[in-house]
Amino acid sequence: MSMTRRGFLATVGAGSAMGVGGALSAAAQDAPALPKPANGPIVIGSRNALAAATRAVGGMRKGEDPLDAVIRGINLVEDDPNDDSVGLGGLPNEDGEVELDASVMDGRTHKAGAVASLRHIRNPASVAALVMRRTDHVLIVGDGALRFARAHGFQEENLLTDKARRVWLEWKEQHSEHDDWLPPEGTEKKKEFGWKTRIDGSDFTYGTIHVSALTPAGDLVGCTSTSGLSFKIPGRVGDSPIIGAGLFVDNQVGAAGSTGRGEANLQNCSSFLVVELMRQGRTPEEACFEVLRRIAGRTEKRLLNPAGEPGYQLKLYAVRRDGLTGGAAMRPVEAEMVVHDGREAKKLKMKTLYGG
Ligand code: ASP
């Protein structure tokens, strides 16, 4: 039997058991059935995604392109100077410069776009969408991403708010006694802003917005946007703009995204794996837990607490094509997610792999 490469891929992609050779037919027949299609809008997102989820569902109901509806929801948080984990007001790198990462993925086309280490542009999610729609690339970084954004008319601005600058300065002056930066006399060890302490004793803050959506037409789209790890080494790229790590969408199965320690997702292709486990029949929550268990089992010693558990936070969120949503978190700290069931958006507590 002859078949073009494109035809072959279409057959495999459809999970069809139709004959393209015995072994493949058998494998296809053994594969669990794909989730039944359902119609949204249904949205899942990170704990800071309440307004974004509401905006996304409202836009989809009004007939907006669903990925644009999700991105406009995320833009609200990117524009919010009080969210220090995303866009304007995001915490800067160790030099005090805000560097943003974002990705989008559209299940209808299986196309993706992303930017990383983007400076001076408050809406990296919108720039990521243009990378997907207006280039033949998937990921543009650094100065190239800024020039690309400029070409599309994005305004450059100082993204470092006075509050974020003061948090950074406090970190700069207090995180080490072995440099020349000194806190104001009498304030040593007093943290006005209380940036969090990582398990190894160094001070970093994580934070990101993620939104995945099942659309009214039963398609899947997703977006993740972040200022990344605070006080990072300049040029450090996290999981958020990496397709398969901080975001993955497969229109046949579901969508997944993540917030928390990006390095763990980069090492484990977490969002891709969540979707693959859903393909194999797991619920979103089961898939997220299985990925967290694998990550925990591979965590290097310096990141384990005295009980031998990962000391860092990592949260996974997923929606299956049949409309089922679920998530899981490594630890209880801020273990919340947002789910919009089409009627209202709610912040829900997440189950966690470890307590305490
Ligand atoms: N995952 C993001 C990163 O590693 C940060 C976060 O979600 O807190 O860049």
Per CATH, the number for 45-175+193-349 is 3.60.20.30
Report the atom number in ligand 1 closest to the C-alpha of 232.
Answer: 9
Identify the residue whose C-alpha is closest to ligand 1 atom 9: 228
Give the torsion sign (CA, 127, 132, 136, 140).
positive
Residue 234, classified by CB atoms within 10 Å of its CB into exposed (0-12), middle (13-18) or buried (19+), is middle
Which residue lies with its CA nearest to atom 1 of ligand 1? Answer: 262
pLDDT by residue for the chain (356 residues), tens only, comes to 344 444 444 444 444 434 344 455 555 566 788 888 889 999 999 999 999 999 999 999 999 999 999 999 999 999 999 988 899 999 999 999 999 999 999 999 999 999 999 999 999 999 999 999 999 999 999 999 999 999 999 999 999 999 899 889 988 888 888 999 998 887 666 665 555 544 444 455 667 999 999 999 999 999 999 999 999 999 999 999 999 999 999 999 999 999 999 999 999 999 999 999 999 999 999 999 999 999 999 999 989 989 999 988 999 999 999 999 999 999 998 899 999 999 999 999 999 999 96
Query: Of ligand 1's atoms, which has the minimum distance to the CA of residue 207?
Result: 8
Q: Which atom of ligand 1 is nearest to the CA of 313?
A: 8
Cβ(257) – ligand 1 distance below 6 Å: no
State residue 203's pLDDT score.
53
Q: What's the 116 CA to ligand 1 centre distance in angstroms?
A: 12
Name the one residue in this structure whose structure tokens are 């607490």: 305
pTM over 0.85: yes
What is the rounded distance in angstroms from the CA atom of residue 16 to the CA atom of residue 253?
A: 15
**Cα 260 to averaged position of ligand 1 atoms, centre (Å):** 5
Distance CA 59, CA 92 (A): 31
| 208 annotated active-site | yes
Catalytic position from the list 161, 205, 208, 226: 208
Type of residue at 176: S
106: left (phi over 0), alpha (psi -120 to 50) or beta: beta
